[in-house]
Structure 1
Amino acid sequence: MVSVLGLGCASYWAKRRFAEADARAVLATALDGGITVLDTGASYAHGHAERRLGRLLRDLGADPDTLLIGTKAGTVADARGRLGKDFSPAAVTTQVEGSLRALALERLPLLQLHGPEPADLTDDLRATLDRLRAAGKVDLLGINGFAPVMRHAVGRAPFDVLMPFLSVLDPGTRPLVAAATDAGQGVLVAGPLARMAFAPPLGHWLTRPSGLWYLARALRHGPTPLWRARRLRPALRAEGWTPAELAMAWVLEQPGVACAVFGTTRPAHLAALTTGAARPLPDAARAAIARVHAGAP
């Protein structure tokens, strides 16, 4: 059993420039709100994400056995610090050992391959993952990536968990989520808020360093997602709801979604989403979103 929301311990949260006390406040709010899924990766912030998460969990007195702590392998830095992919058995094994040390864990509750291509899922890699599990280094195994590799991994051993991207802005992976669930795999959703492109929080983006960083990430994907998001904005309105809460509620009601993982640097934002996750999506909002997805005016 997992919480319906998960905290992404990555992005700006993991940056050294984001104060340790502020990162601690976000994590504490998540744990106090009942969030049990914590998602990070060996490559995030050049390893600082895992080290910070492990350190803060100890500082907060959290029991790792009550949490699904997930990390990722396969994204590596070269000698100049540039990130690339390496899913060789040696690279994955090295990252697993490093993640265990950084998180101060004896076993990784969840290890996911980070953005592989179908061709990366070789027999040697699968055998390595099986050996890591048999050795007690990892428990659950999964993949975080885009639709092509997700479709390839549905129902395939040794993957217990899939983590596709799904949001009101990009609903196309719904059949994939349902197929994975039918195959007995757990589904964690990445990017459920689509970087808030459907309701840009300009007041936060333009007035704080973390906001400028998130704005740059949103713009890096070009104007198309932001343009598509304009059509969704009228649908994400309901009395007593924020657009983010409606967008999250839509994701959580999709068949097969066990947990939606999102990132934030604001405890208030996290607390509001946690509260909103307990409410059903209003019928009017559901219908309005469906009309937009169908291309209706």
Structure 2
Amino acid sequence: METRKLGRTGPAVSALGLGAMGMSDFYGPADEAEGVATIHAALDAGVNLIDTGDFYGSGHNELMIGRALRDHKREDVVISVKFGGMRTPGGGFQPVGVDVGAAAVKDRLAYTLRRLGTDYVDVYRPARLNPAIPIEETVGAIKEMIDEGYVRHVGLSEVGAETIRKAAAVHPVADLQIEYSLMSRGLEERILPVTRELGIGVTAYGVLSRGLLSGHWRADRELSVGDFRGHAPRFQGENLDANLRLVEALREIAEEQEATVAQVAIAWVLGRGDDIVPLVGARTRERLAESLAAPRVTLTARVLARIEAAVPAEAVAGTRYNTGGMASLDSEQ
């Protein structure tokens, strides 16, 4: 597995990371045993970056990762944690935003360390910006945790260029986590130039656009209770039909490359720069194995041009979150 560095100051990580969210939440019921087996398979394949959030499954995701890593050397794994999402006992989100104040940084980190069974987190990041809490306060508190040895690096998530600059003025930032795929290219114009100017890496989630670019999605797929895609605009009605037509155009190119749609979509993100590390959200060993073959897909300039013509950003139908979700993204403002 090729390695890449998360920005100028971050750790060396595998060129593909594993996003563990779907093993606990947001995509309907998941098989915990299969999730643990998938984490083990990823580690065996050379993947050393695992991304989670303390609010994924209200702590379940961290507990599962802790169990999966019990027999592995801690220094061999880079754990990235988002914090701040406020849940309800019924599994929903509280409407008051994210809690990323200085006290919350330390309090939530304490629980994260216990659930993961570790004494430090490699990259710690607020899940979203809270406009009422200066990013300088949040990053300053994470810096204190770095000084005390509980955190190694500062990360950010879904924030815009101005916020990135403010955060980096307090402490070096290893990486920005943000959605990036053929269907979600909003960071390219204003955000990516700033991360590159400041030497900040990008960990790209949603590289398969929540499954749309997997090549396995069907228009008649029935979604289970708890699968947020049942309310996501890109998966609704005419939007879904339009987006699946783009996928079929991509499939034609993928078949010519003797690859799957998912592999080509991941390879496209990998090719956007050595400062970008795609996170694959595989929930099973089968899907993981498919994703891990993506780095072997070679995309020539001619093929890249065809791919971008087949899936032009302006042709994607629907926003990546609903109205409320989009409003919470500093990166989209």
* Match 1:36 to one of 48, 65, 87: 48
* Match 2:280 to one of 246, 249, 262: 262
Pairs within 5 Å for 1:113-192: 113-117=126-130, 120-145=133-158, 147=160, 155-158=168-171, 159-175=173-189, 176-192=191-207
Is the Cα–Cα contact under 8 Å of residues 136 and 170 in structure 2 kept in the other structure? no
SS at structure 1 position matched to 2:170? coil
SS at structure 2 position matched to 1:83? coil
**Could you say which residue in structure 1 is the equivalent of 2:3?**
none
- Runs of 4+ in structure 1 displaced over 6 angstroms? none
* Match 1:290 to one of 287, 305, 308: 308
User: Structure 1's 78 and 195: CA in aligned 2 closer, same or farther, altered over 3 A?
Assistant: closer
Is the Cα–Cα contact under 8 Å of residues 198 and 233 in structure 1 kept in the other structure? no
Instruction: Report Cα offsets for 1:138-186 as digits up to 9, x if no partner.
Output: 0111111254676555744323221111100112212423431231112
User: Structure 1's 88 and 140: CA in aligned 2 closer, same or farther, altered over 3 A?
Assistant: same
Aligned pair 1:45/2:64, yes or no? Answer: no
**Could you say which residue in structure 2 is the equivalent of 1:248?**
266
AA paired with 2:196?
A: T
- Using the size of structure 2 for normalisation, the TM-score is 0.77
RMSD, aligned CA: 2.9
Q: Percent identity?
A: 24
Distance 1:109 1:125 in 2: 17
**Could you say which residue in structure 1 is the equivalent of 2:118?**
105
Is the Cα–Cα contact under 8 Å of residues 62 and 116 in structure 2 kept in the other structure? yes
Is the Cα–Cα contact under 8 Å of residues 264 and 297 in structure 2 kept in the other structure? no
User: Structure 1's 129 and 214: CA in aligned 2 closer, same or farther, altered over 3 A?
Assistant: same
Distance 2:106 2:182 in 1: 36
- Using the size of structure 1 for normalisation, the TM-score is 0.85
Deviation at 1:198, TM superposition (A): 3.8
**Could you say which residue in structure 1 is the equivalent of 2:38?**
26
Mean Cα displacement is larger for which, 231-240 or 132-141? Answer: 231-240
Question: Tell me, which stretches of 5 or more residues in structure 2 are unaligned?
Answer: 1-11, 316-333
SS at structure 2 position matched to 1:197? helix
SS at structure 2 position matched to 1:18? coil
Deviation at 1:82, TM superposition (A): 4.0
Is the Cα–Cα contact under 8 Å of residues 9 and 40 in structure 1 kept in the other structure? yes
**Could you say which residue in structure 2 is the equivalent of 1:217?**
228
Mean Cα displacement is larger for which, 213-222 or 1-10? Answer: 213-222
